[in-house]
Structure 1
Amino acid sequence: MSNFDRFQTPYLAIRFPDPQENEDRKYSDCSGCTESITETDLALGVVLDIYGMVVHDNIDCIKKAVQAKTLY
């Protein structure tokens, strides 16, 4: 048994994941385009929270999520 065994607990693996792992965990689905949103997208700030819905930060996803229409 070494002193480094205390750093291999499930709590630490979930709360403090290895930054070198390339696995993106799914956060939610976009309410506009229904594509998956990862935690990396959330950290980069390309996601908005509109009325409790998670959407990508582009005009098409926002329009679909809130069912907006363009008037000419």
Structure 2
Amino acid sequence: MKRSNRLDLNSARWRKSSYSNGDGADCVEVSDDFPGLVPVRDSKDPEGPALCIPDGAWRPFITAVKSAAFSRRGGR
């Protein structure tokens, strides 16, 4: 019998990131319902895939975003 490694996100409560674009074009949603993991999805495609990021990687990523480490360069 084949085991599935897929996380069931059907009961997840999603919230929009405070960094999402206010006009609804660039909306990222996250769920806080899974200890040790942070599921992330595109709110425009709620039935689409979600990335599940380990909590230990999520915190440094958010710190980098808040410090503008990923700001656009070169006028793009």
- Give the TM-score of the pair, scaled to structure 2: 0.28
Structure 1 or 2: more helix by fraction: 1
**Highest RCO, 1 vs 2 (Cα 8 Å, sep ≥ 6):** 1
Q: Which has the larger radius of gyration?
A: 1
- Give the TM-score of the pair, scaled to structure 1: 0.29
